[in-house]
Amino acid sequence: EAGLVYVCDDSLQRIQIFDSELNYIKLFGYGELSYPVDIKVLSDTIFILSLDTNCIYFYNIDCTLQKKIELTGQEQLMTSSSFFTIDKNGNFLITDQSSQQIRVFSSKGVLRHILAGQLPFLYGVTLDNFDRIICVC
Protein backbone atom coordinates (compact mmCIF):
# COMPACT_ATOMS: atom_id res chain seq x y z
CA GLU A 1 0.00 0.00 0.00
CA ALA A 2 1.41 3.39 -0.98
CA GLY A 3 2.74 5.58 1.79
CA LEU A 4 3.27 2.82 4.35
CA VAL A 5 6.58 2.39 6.17
CA TYR A 6 7.66 -1.19 6.97
CA VAL A 7 10.27 -1.64 9.70
CA CYS A 8 12.30 -4.80 10.40
CA ASP A 9 12.45 -5.06 14.18
CA ASP A 10 15.19 -7.66 14.42
CA SER A 11 15.56 -7.61 18.20
CA LEU A 12 11.85 -8.36 18.75
CA GLN A 13 11.64 -10.53 15.60
CA ARG A 14 8.72 -8.85 13.91
CA ILE A 15 7.76 -6.32 11.26
CA GLN A 16 6.06 -3.07 12.23
CA ILE A 17 3.96 -0.99 9.85
CA PHE A 18 3.49 2.78 10.13
CA ASP A 19 1.60 5.26 7.99
CA SER A 20 3.39 8.07 6.14
CA GLU A 21 3.24 10.26 9.27
CA LEU A 22 4.85 7.42 11.29
CA ASN A 23 1.72 6.56 13.22
CA TYR A 24 1.73 2.90 14.24
CA ILE A 25 -0.69 0.70 12.28
CA LYS A 26 0.14 -2.90 13.16
CA LEU A 27 2.81 -5.56 13.46
CA PHE A 28 3.18 -9.01 12.00
CA GLY A 29 5.61 -11.92 11.86
CA TYR A 30 5.97 -12.25 15.62
CA GLY A 31 6.54 -15.94 16.34
CA GLU A 32 7.14 -16.67 12.64
CA LEU A 33 10.28 -14.66 11.90
CA SER A 34 13.76 -15.06 13.30
CA TYR A 35 16.03 -12.01 13.04
CA PRO A 36 14.49 -10.21 10.05
CA VAL A 37 17.15 -7.99 8.48
CA ASP A 38 15.61 -6.61 5.27
CA ILE A 39 12.23 -6.25 3.64
CA LYS A 40 10.94 -5.58 0.12
CA VAL A 41 7.36 -4.88 -0.92
CA LEU A 42 6.57 -5.63 -4.57
CA SER A 43 2.98 -5.45 -5.84
CA ASP A 44 1.03 -7.65 -3.46
CA THR A 45 3.91 -9.57 -1.85
CA ILE A 46 6.09 -8.68 1.12
CA PHE A 47 9.51 -10.40 1.07
CA ILE A 48 11.54 -10.63 4.28
CA LEU A 49 15.13 -11.86 4.63
CA SER A 50 15.93 -13.68 7.87
CA LEU A 51 19.57 -14.01 8.89
CA ASP A 52 19.17 -16.76 11.50
CA THR A 53 17.27 -19.15 9.27
CA ASN A 54 18.82 -18.21 5.90
CA CYS A 55 15.27 -18.00 4.56
CA ILE A 56 13.14 -15.56 2.64
CA TYR A 57 9.58 -15.29 3.87
CA PHE A 58 6.70 -14.38 1.56
CA TYR A 59 3.70 -12.57 3.06
CA ASN A 60 0.64 -11.31 1.23
CA ILE A 61 -0.35 -7.68 1.51
CA ASP A 62 -2.67 -8.61 4.40
CA CYS A 63 0.45 -9.75 6.31
CA THR A 64 -0.39 -13.46 6.19
CA LEU A 65 2.56 -15.82 5.75
CA GLN A 66 2.24 -17.54 2.36
CA LYS A 67 5.50 -19.50 2.25
CA LYS A 68 9.16 -19.42 3.04
CA ILE A 69 12.09 -20.62 1.00
CA GLU A 70 15.38 -21.82 2.42
CA LEU A 71 18.47 -20.51 0.64
CA THR A 72 20.30 -23.67 -0.44
CA GLY A 73 23.41 -24.70 -2.36
CA GLN A 74 25.84 -22.83 -0.14
CA GLU A 75 29.08 -24.35 1.09
CA GLN A 76 28.88 -22.04 4.05
CA LEU A 77 25.84 -20.18 5.28
CA MET A 78 25.79 -16.43 5.20
CA THR A 79 26.64 -15.08 8.60
CA SER A 80 26.17 -11.39 8.07
CA SER A 81 23.78 -10.88 5.21
CA SER A 82 22.10 -7.57 5.55
CA PHE A 83 20.36 -6.49 2.38
CA PHE A 84 18.79 -8.00 -0.68
CA THR A 85 17.06 -7.03 -3.87
CA ILE A 86 15.02 -8.88 -6.47
CA ASP A 87 15.77 -8.76 -10.19
CA LYS A 88 13.25 -8.80 -13.04
CA ASN A 89 13.49 -12.60 -13.27
CA GLY A 90 12.64 -13.09 -9.59
CA ASN A 91 16.21 -13.91 -8.50
CA PHE A 92 17.32 -12.76 -5.06
CA LEU A 93 20.64 -10.91 -4.78
CA ILE A 94 21.82 -10.98 -1.18
CA THR A 95 24.86 -9.32 0.34
CA ASP A 96 27.12 -11.28 2.67
CA GLN A 97 29.25 -8.76 4.50
CA SER A 98 31.57 -11.29 6.13
CA SER A 99 32.70 -12.75 2.79
CA GLN A 100 32.27 -9.49 0.82
CA GLN A 101 30.10 -11.30 -1.72
CA ILE A 102 26.76 -10.97 -3.41
CA ARG A 103 25.03 -14.32 -3.64
CA VAL A 104 22.41 -14.79 -6.33
CA PHE A 105 19.60 -17.25 -5.62
CA SER A 106 16.80 -18.39 -7.90
CA SER A 107 13.19 -17.65 -7.03
CA LYS A 108 13.11 -21.13 -5.43
CA GLY A 109 16.11 -20.34 -3.20
CA VAL A 110 18.81 -22.29 -5.07
CA LEU A 111 22.24 -20.67 -5.29
CA ARG A 112 22.92 -19.71 -8.91
CA HIS A 113 26.24 -17.93 -8.55
CA ILE A 114 28.41 -15.81 -6.32
CA LEU A 115 29.69 -12.38 -7.25
CA ALA A 116 32.98 -11.75 -5.52
CA GLY A 117 35.84 -9.42 -6.11
CA GLN A 118 36.93 -6.01 -5.04
CA LEU A 119 33.91 -5.12 -2.91
CA PRO A 120 35.45 -3.59 0.22
CA PHE A 121 33.03 -3.03 3.06
CA LEU A 122 30.07 -4.33 1.05
CA TYR A 123 26.92 -3.17 2.74
CA GLY A 124 23.97 -3.23 0.38
CA VAL A 125 22.85 -4.03 -3.13
CA THR A 126 20.21 -2.68 -5.46
CA LEU A 127 19.46 -2.71 -9.18
CA ASP A 128 18.86 0.03 -11.70
CA ASN A 129 16.07 -0.03 -14.31
CA PHE A 130 18.19 -2.25 -16.56
CA ASP A 131 18.94 -4.83 -13.79
CA ARG A 132 22.52 -3.60 -13.49
CA ILE A 133 23.88 -4.22 -10.01
CA ILE A 134 24.67 -1.24 -7.80
CA CYS A 135 26.70 -1.99 -4.67
CA VAL A 136 26.69 0.10 -1.52
CA CYS A 137 30.15 -0.07 0.05
Task: Output the pTM of the full model.
Answer: 0.86
Measure the CA angle with vertex 40, ends 86 and 97; round to 5°: 70
CA proximity to 56, closest of 128, 88, 8: 8
Please say if the pLDDT value at position 58 is more than 90: yes
Provide the pLDDT confidence category of residue 46 given band limits of 50, 70 and 90: very high
Mean predicted lDDT score pLDDT of the chain: 87
Please say if the pLDDT value at position 5 is more than 70: yes
Provide the pLDDT confidence category of residue 71 given band limits of 50, 70 and 90: confident
Please say if the pLDDT value at position 14 is more than 60: yes
Provide the pLDDT confidence category of residue 122 given band limits of 50, 70 and 90: confident
For 51-67, what is the mean pLDDT?
A: 91
Please say if the pLDDT value at position 76 is more than 60: no
pLDDT at 96: 81
For 39-66, what is the mean pLDDT?
A: 91
For 12-28, what is the mean pLDDT?
A: 95
Distances (CA, A) of 108 to 43, 57, 69, 97: 19, 12, 7, 23
